[in-house]
Structure 1
Amino acid sequence: MEKSYKEIMPEITTFIFDVDGVLTNGEVTITTDGELVRNMNTKDGFALKTAVLEGFNVCIISGGNNEGVRTRLNGLGIQDIYLGTHHKIEQFETYINSKNIKPENILYMGDDIPDYLVMKKVGLPSCPKDAVPEIQEISLYVSQKKGGKGCVRDVIEQVLKVQGKWHKNFNAKYD
């Protein structure tokens, strides 16, 4: 019998996220000089920083290649950021092998077909509520939040609460 997402959450040590459609709403604004501008949710950012501070592995694998995204995520303490990755499964395998991470200990959140193969390999495949049907179908958890609108905060907060790590040493870490 397959475990429920709540039964898997205590085993999660690693979060992997896509960017466009997960950390953003999937829309881009194109400036007159051709730059693609994305918006990220600050509550998602707080949750990402909290996961890093609590010792979780946090990784980003995205087909997009915007250095502003890297700068923002680095500022939250995330070091494992792979942009311009069009074969996500290969980058995923390289990452987990380099860190000696078991797939069953990973929560991956994606929203579209490029995430499909990786999501089939992890312990807790998840997606925002506006993910494409194929991704929703294979997700053990579908957030009630849309991409770029708090879905990342949703899954991180749930995992950390289940593990007793949400706001554990809040004052000491956020002074």
Structure 2
Amino acid sequence: MAKSYKETLNDITTFIFDIDGVLTDSSVHVSQTGEMLRIMNIRDGFAMKAAIESGYNVCIISGGSNEGVRIRLQNLGISEIHLGSSDKVKTFKQYTEAYTINPEHVLYMGDDIPDYHVMQLVGLPTCPQDAVSEIKSISKYISHINGGKGAVREVIEQVMKVQGKWNTYFDGKHD
């Protein structure tokens, strides 16, 4: 019998996120020089940092390749940042094999067709509320929050709360 969404939260050791549409709201602001600027949610960043500091693996796999985004993610303590990935399944397999991560213990949040095949390989495929219908159809959990507006924070917080690590993280040293 397949585990329910809530039961699966207990098994999660690794979070993998797409960027555009998950960590951002899918908007791209284009400057006069052609630079593409994205807006990221501070609370998503806080949760990713909390997850890393609590012992979870956090990985980014994105087809986009913006160095400003890479710097932002590195500043949060994320070392596994795979930008410009044209084959997310290949990148996912290389990452999980390199770190001996069981795909059943991975929560992946994606929002669009490029995430479809990799999401079928993980234990907990999730998406923001505004993901495309094909992604919603294969997600075990659909956040009630849109991409770039705190959906990443929501799923991280749920996993950490179920595993008893969310409140422990706030023992006074993380203000």
Task: Name the TM-score, length of structure 1 as normaliser.
Answer: 0.98
What is residue 115 of structure 1 aligned with on the other side? 115
Corresponding residue for residue 100 of structure 1: 100
Could you say what secondary structure the match of 2:168 adopts? coil
SS in structure 2 at match of 1:27: coil
What is the identity, as a one-letter code, of the residue corresponding to 2:108?
A: Y
Q: Distance in 2 between matches of 1:17 and 1:172?
A: 28
One-letter code aligned to 1:78: I
Question: Counterpart amino acid of 1:146?
Answer: N
The equivalent of 1:73 in structure 2 is 73
Identity over aligned pairs, percent: 60
Distance 1:83 1:103 in 2: 20
Corresponding position: 1:85 with 2:69: no
Residues 74-102 of structure 1, C-alpha deviations (whole Å, 9 max, x = no match): 11110000000011000000000000000
1:40 aligns with 2:40: yes
2:19 corresponds in structure 1 to: 19
| Residue 174 (structure 1) shift | 2.0
Which residue number corresponds to residue 158 of structure 1? 158
Deviation sequence 1:11-31 (CA, Å, 0-9, x none): 000000000000000010000
Q: State the match for 2:145 in structure 1.
A: 145
The one-letter code matched in structure 2 to 1:101 is: I
Query: Aligned-pair distance for 1:140?
Result: 0.1
Cα RMSD of the aligned pairs, angstroms, is: 1.0
Give 1:170 deviation, angstroms: 1.9
TM-score, L = length of structure 2: 0.98
Q: SS in structure 2 opposite 1:167?
A: helix
Partner of 1:168: 168
Counterpart-to-counterpart distance in 2, 1:37 and 1:169: 32
Q: Give the secondary structure class of the aligned counterpart of 1:81.
A: strand
Corresponding residue for 1:63? 63
Secondary structure of the 1:21 match is coil
CA contact (8 A) 2:50 2:169 kept: no
Q: In structure 1, what residue type is equivalent to 2:150?
A: G
* Cα-to-partner distance string for 1:112-171 (whole Å, 9 max, x where unaligned): 010011100000000000000000000000000000001000000000000000031424
Does the CA contact (< 8 Å) of 2:54 and 2:169 recur in 1? no
AA aligned to 1:160 is: M
Supply the distance in 2 between the matched residues of 1:144 and 1:47 (Cα, whole angstroms).
Answer: 17
Matched residues in 1 for 2:59 and 2:69: separation? 13
> Aligned partners of 1:148, 1:167: CA distance in 2, in Å?
24
Alpha-carbon distance in structure 2 between the residues aligned to 1:134 and 1:3: 22
Q: Distance in 2 between matches of 1:168 and 1:132?
A: 35
Question: What does the per-residue CA deviation read over 1:60-81, in whole Å, with 9 as the maximum and x for residues that have no partner?
Answer: 0000000111111111110000
Question: Unmatched 5+ residue regions in structure 2?
Answer: none
